[in-house]
Structure 1
């Protein structure tokens, strides 16, 4: 998606941040069907194999659970390149990302989990405990380090004045529920449409199956409601994190609503099953993708007292330093892994 005009050509932000890009691997087909995504994944495997052959990396560091990440992992496994995996051990029962994530864990050699529970789950999958580290969520690091935009600068960056209430909305398809994206998002739009004196800031979905249905609905809604709604293909890291601090709530089903948003003590309305199974703090309000439930959850979130000190299970924003230290201190990685069996007491 970084290389696609449809998703904002976000590779440019990487270079603007000072990171040279050694290879650009074009894999994304202009399709959000199951066939199109599978073909993109096949192209990714071919392309990663060529890149690894040329670059000869000592280690491949992968984050998360997307299909292209799976392609990068499986190709590295076959090439005999050690893999360090970030954000393993988590659950997202409503998306096929869940199975992809656990598959990447079994191909990886170093594991950097975001919580102790996730670390234990990686060990439960048979990984040696000494290779699994609880470092917290790496997405929190930039919240501490980036100089975020104040209200005036943020308004200037999006070309809109914030209103009395402001909601940031990101909704992705639930990939294990075929062709439900449009119906679910319609329910969300109906709930949002009832709000008055509220600015609705939409960020568009990723390249998951049926994502274009949501894009079309966002475009139509913003076109018909220019006084209260605005949309962005990608806000970028700085504007996105800056936006959260100025919002009254974040609405949708993105993992960011579970991991990054609570660090600002901003409430999240988490819709449906896409993130089901993740550890959630006190600022998360769950609901099903039904208009009445979404409306009630938004009302609860808007009554949330931001001054209240809430629990947040994902660390304190120094994951990158911990990961770097482990990799530096790892002298040798044995790619021949042994399965770690958890002791159990058989029934008598």
Structure 2
């Protein structure tokens, strides 16, 4: 059974790494990796591949930047050539990035079965390109692997037959479990001059939060207010950094006492930072899941989340606006020991990839 595993953006690497590892243990599966190059920074991409022990991709499409439409078109054109050369039995896509839907579209037009890992997640916000990617990919996939009960419920509501849907757990957590010990041996916090439990970790990159001067000014005020009480470690996304300079806010950023700005971190370094922080403030998707597993409080600047289990069971709380006063109250509540308690969701145990491999082998042998 020849499987082409698609990666395009950094979050994909963390999901495909345990899958590729699980597939290699099965004699019935030949596993190949296709990297579209959708998010390609040589330094960061190499770091992630090396840290996650992924082999050099069998194919690198070198797509690079451009609008969503341009990326989708370029990926489809290049991936079609790979499909013609490889003639796979299955295309496996993960998550909700442009590469996910682009490669799924090529596969379905060539009548090759598609497996979607992390299927069924819905935020309800169709303004987000990721939401459209999730809905469309699920609608053309043959096997849907789900991380949480909300995914099952959403797919049922959309009329997907039960026999296509499998609750397997979370491959992102597989990577976390596998590399947690290795990450704990990295001394990133002392290099940054902070101590365990004595800093707040922040990430911000979503256009809704960082593409306006008002949004960025609010973020900087939130950082300044928080840094009065705890140091703030902020691995800054290139988009966020560029917009801060564009909107004339760099002097304000540089003036904040207690702020530690870093470049984007490798997977192991960031995992170490999460585990040692007192609070994570983010607008990311996957970080909501990782903090829930690590039992670290998380504030997510989003109106909605496609991962509701992180709120219902986990340590995550949503904040629908960037009002510094409201945010400061919530931050102080957590820093003063009144954080929301959470539990680890069912089947987030480090074995999701093995369950997926078992399902694929059974289906292929039918």
Normalising by structure 2, report the TM-score: 0.77
How far off its partner does 1:132 sit? 0.4
Residues 1:215 and 1:81: Cα distance change in structure 2 (over 3 Å)? farther
In 2, the alpha carbon distance for the partners of 1:92 and 1:7 equals 31
Aligned counterpart for 2:173 among listed residues 140, 159, 165: 140
Cα RMSD for the two superposed structures: 3.1
Extract unaligned runs of 5+ from structure 2. 1-8, 11-36
Aligned position for 1:337: none
1:262 aligns with 2:292: yes
Of stretches 285-294 and 322-331 in structure 1, the one that deviates more from structure 2 is 285-294
Cα shift readout 1:243-298 (whole Å, capped 9, x = no counterpart) = 11100000011112321111111000111326367332352232222111221221
Aligned position for 1:153: 187
Aligned position for 1:283: 315
Normalising by structure 1, report the TM-score: 0.80
1:50 aligns with 2:81: yes
Residues 1:285 and 1:120: Cα distance change in structure 2 (over 3 Å)? closer
Aligned position for 1:172: 205
Aligned counterpart for 1:19 among listed residues 39, 43, 55: 55
1:272 aligns with 2:302: yes
In 2, the alpha carbon distance for the partners of 1:54 and 1:166 equals 50
Residues 1:205 and 1:327: Cα distance change in structure 2 (over 3 Å)? farther
Q: How many residues align?
A: 320
Cα shift readout 1:226-249 (whole Å, capped 9, x = no counterpart) = 86312222x222112121110000
Extract unaligned runs of 5+ from structure 1. 334-348
In 1, the alpha carbon distance for the partners of 2:236 and 2:82 equals 30
How far off its partner does 1:223 sit? 4.4
| SS of match in other structure, 2:299 | strand
In 1, the alpha carbon distance for the partners of 2:166 and 2:275 equals 30
Alignment check: 8 A CA contact 1:181 1:214 kept: no
Residues 1:276 and 1:130: Cα distance change in structure 2 (over 3 Å)? closer
Cα shift readout 1:62-99 (whole Å, capped 9, x = no counterpart) = 11111221111111111211111011111224423112
Of stretches 271-280 and 250-259 in structure 1, the one that deviates more from structure 2 is 271-280
In 2, the alpha carbon distance for the partners of 1:254 and 1:220 equals 26
